[in-house]
Amino acid sequence: MGSESTIFIMISAVLCQASAVLSPVVIEEQYLFQPGNPGEVDAYRIPISIMCPDRSILAFAEGRKYGRGDYGSKFLAMRRSKDSGDTWTTTEFVLDDNPSVDGLNLGNVIIDYYNNSVIIVYVHAHTHSELYMVKSLDWGVSWGKAIALSDRNPKLKGYEWTAGPGYGIQLKYGPHKGRLLSCGHGMSLELREASCLYSDDYGDTWHLGGRVLGIPFNHTKNTGDFAPGESQIVEMYDGTLIMMSRNTEAFHCKCRIFSKSYDAGESFPVSDIWMVDDLPDPNVCGSILHHNGILYFSGLDSRTSRTNMTLYWSLDNGITWPGYLPIYLHNSAYSCLTAIDNNNIGLVYEKGNNGHIAFSKIRLHA
């Protein structure tokens, strides 16, 4: 029997076993970021989490110094867990944009498994939009100097685009194995789109990748127009990429936009863009995770308000979403999923409307 057939059988067996007993339950929850000290932060928003190869979980957020709004000075805050999310280090600040009127905005966090590094891609939008990255070679203990992506690719100078928010990925399969992908959206009203940047040299140089263009193209979008926004991407076992995007102008329905790439993020065919009616979208960022053959989504179970944080799952690569688990029934917003181990995943999310970010540990199987 060939190796590819063996792998297919193994994956099928794991998926069948996992889906048969899938019964997620929240086993632990705690606040990670709360307004106040350190830094006298007014509110925390835009949570991101990721598991490092040393088994530590890194959680990030924007520490908004003077208000909850998108514009204003911010810290990039981080906490670390070395015991699968049970306990966490105190809050530390990776970046400080000082008194900028509109400073740093998260962002993607990406693990480079080939070079044992963590990369944060973010935008600084004080006087004009500029993409930056900062890298850690010791799993977030220390961080290097911020580098403008346009230093190596002038096409990115002033590029009106922001990553994520959420995690980016490094490809594990296919001819572009090792490629880094940072996906997000165009920020201008005329060019509202979901799109990706990619790097084939471990973050030294970044290039423009595939785009899911808004319609009408190059025009300001209005309610009902196709305007994909904040996005996150995952890789399937066959190398296909699935991108989930915010449906900013409620095209077709107040639900999620999904798209596929078959060439490592360099294009997203129009024939493989679809709307997922089963996943409500009250115009807010969500998160997607591919874990042990199952696709998970965290978002809000409401089409009209930012309430009811919920975990959904799909057993057919995002076509149908028959399962769901309510996480928090009240005000909630942005979220990010991360795999912890075979039987547990983590969820960081904006809980309440006072600038708090919580971490939920979810056991997948009884």
Domain boundaries, given as residue ranges, for the chain: 24-365
pLDDT of residue 298: 99
Using left for φ > 0, alpha for ψ between -120 and 50, and beta otherwise, residue 45 falls in beta
> 230, 235, 281, 301: which is the annotated catalytic residue?
230
Candidates 70, 238, 316, 341; catalytic one: 70
Task: Give me the numbers of helices (H) and strands (E) for the chain, helices first please.
Answer: 1, 25
What's the pLDDT score for residue 292?
A: 97
**Closest-CA residue to 107 (of 142, 60, 145):** 60
**Domain at 24-365, CATH class:** mainly beta
350 a catalytic residue: yes
Of the candidates 235, 236, 191, the one whose C-alpha atom is nearest the C-alpha of residue 214 is 191
pLDDT value for 54? 96
pLDDT of amino acid 5: 47
Please identify every stretch of the chain with a pLDDT value under 70, giving residue numbers as ranges: 1-20, 100, 102, 126-127, 189
334 is catalytic: yes
Quick count: other Cβ atoms within 10 Å of Cβ 177? Answer: 12
pTM: 0.93
Condensed to tens digits (0 to 9), the pLDDT of residues 87-119 reads: 999 999 999 988 767 678 999 999 999 999 999
Q: Catalytic pick from 44, 122, 159, 334?
A: 334
Task: Give the pLDDT of residue 8.
Answer: 46
Choose the catalytic residue: 42, 112, 301, 350.
350
